[in-house]
Each structure stands twice: as structure tokens, then as C-alpha cells.
Amino acid sequence: MIGYVTLGTNDLERAAQFYDPIAAEMGVGRMMDFDTFIAWGAWDGGPGIAATKPFDGKEATVGNGTMVAIECKDRGQVQRIYDLALANGGSDEGAPGPRGEPDENGMVFYAAYFRDPDGNKLNAFLMDKVA
């Protein structure tokens, strides 16, 4: 249903340094690259993510209660994305780990939370069997 998510930035170069390695870990790269906008993803793939300077020329701000979730293939990838985020100017909002109780099938929500350099909140997650 979702085609892509756009997050505001006040420093596109800094945003690119943050999102380029995360996109590479997810197996994609830049699919659009303009002076004020970069989008990562694959034309024939799932939803993408973009960073943009606001069109109205005003400062980008963070949405209170807004978060972008990046679906991962395994716990190792959750950890790698979290580590990449922190190594590239992001800040910690919750280390990788299970959240909540397992469901009736023994599945648990496993996630790591972080913010990009502009303060946008993201997480890397998967539904996984309890370890």
C-alpha cells in the first residue's frame, strides 16, 4: 500500500551520509537524486524512503508521534542497521531487543529504535520466533 515515505532534512548531504549505508544494508541504493531530494529504494521493489528539503523553503521539523519502520530479514540485520544509524550521526531511542510478549504462535516483535541526524524517528524490526 505505501509506495514511499518522505522525511524532511535541513542538511541533505548529512542525510545522504546517514541513509546511504542503511539503504546498502537493505540491498538498495539511490533511485532518485536531485539538489533538494534523494530517494532510496528499487523501482520494482517495496516501499522506499526519501529525504528532502521542504518545498516551502522553511526549516524541516520532526512530526511528534511519527515514525518510519524498516522491515528486516533477521535479528542480525536489525543490529546492523541500528549500528549503522548510530555510526552515521543517528541517536539511540532503544537498543535491539524483543518488545512485548510473544503471540499465540510464539512470535515476538523484535526492534531497535533510533533517530536520524534531523531527529526523525525510525526503527528496524521483524516478527521473529522467541529465541
d(CA 66, CA 40): 19
Residue 61, domain member (yes or no): no
At 24, which CATH number? 3.10.180.10
In terms of residue numbers, what domain contains 19?
Answer: 4-53+66-129
Domain assignment present for residue 59? The answer is no
130 confidence band (pLDDT: 50, 70, 90): confident
Considering the chain, what percentage of its residues have pLDDT values greater than 70? Answer: 99
In a domain, 93, yes or no: yes
pLDDT in tens, 75-128: 999 999 999 999 999 999 999 999 999 999 999 999 999 999 999 999 999 999
**Domain count of the fold of the chain:** 1
Is residue 78 in a domain? yes
Q: Are 78 and 110 in contact (CB under 8 A)?
A: yes
